């Protein structure tokens, strides 16, 4: 898989929204993902998106970022009900995320708590990928890359920083970075 060209692999681009920064103390309140099939075909129709009841209060600082309130999640499924479906959706694909280690720490922690196996051969961080594809930008936050690549999705402003919005935009950033890297002679994961 490491030597397979970028455009021949299937990717699952994931984003999570949480109550904090450490999976030891914080919980997921939303998980979303979008798939990219060979030839960079982003599947906008068959996405994964679930709000999750974290069983703890959502701190105001977290709410300010993702706008997910306690009321929005109070009747939603618990993580052990959501995670198996997500893992089924994403299994045996390359996992991608913007600062993917953050998302994967939460997913791995919850999978371990639920005794669920993870089957992700590789993961790609679009922050690191963008630094290689577009060196010299002043910042590599997702909003900066959305602006740099002139991504303009027809998604309500209220959905900014929600998991599906971020996953879809990250998917587009990924494909744009791959195209730039291909022009530089980099065609597969082994050269990242």
Token couple for 125: 């961080």
Query: Which of 66, 80, 98, 161 is flagged as catalytic?
Result: 161
From the list 75, 34, 37, the residue with the least C-alpha distance to 54 is: 75
Q: Which residues are CB-neighbours of 95 under 8 A, at least 6 positions away?
A: 11, 12, 14, 104, 120, 122, 123, 124
Token couple for 121: 């051969």
Q: Which residues are CB-neighbours of 171 under 8 A, at least 6 positions away?
A: 11, 13, 34, 36, 42, 96
161 is catalytic: yes
CA–CA distance, 97 with 29 (Å, rounded to integer): 17
Rounded to 5 degrees, φ, ψ at 10 are -110, 135
CA–CA distance, 159 with 164 (Å, rounded to integer): 8
Kindly list the catalytic residues.
Answer: 161
């Amino acid at each position: 898989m490491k030597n397979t060209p970028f455009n021949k692999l299937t990717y699952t681009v994931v984003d999570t929204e949480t109550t904090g920064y450490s999976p030891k103390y914080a919980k997921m309140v939303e998980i979303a993902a979008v798939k990219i099939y060979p030839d960079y075909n982003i599947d906008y129709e068959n996405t994964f998106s679930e709000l999750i009841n974290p069983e703890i209060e959502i701190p105001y600082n977290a709410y300010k970022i993702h706008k997910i309130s306690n009321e929005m999640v109070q009747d939603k499924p618990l993580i052990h009900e959501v995670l198996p479906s997500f893992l089924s959706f994403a299994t045996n694909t390359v996992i991608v995320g913007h600062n993917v280690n953050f998302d994967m720490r939460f997913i791995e922690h919850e999978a371990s708590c639920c005794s669920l196996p993870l089957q992700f051969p590789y993961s790609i961080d679009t922050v690191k990928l963008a630094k290689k594809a577009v060196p010299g930008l002043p910042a590599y936050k997702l909003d900066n890359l959305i602006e740099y690549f002139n991504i303009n999705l027809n998604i309500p402003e209220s959905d900014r920083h929600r998991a599906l919005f971020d996953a879809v935009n990250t998917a587009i950033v990924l494909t744009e970075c791959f195209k730039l890297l291909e022009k530089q002679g980099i065609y597969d994961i082994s050269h990242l």
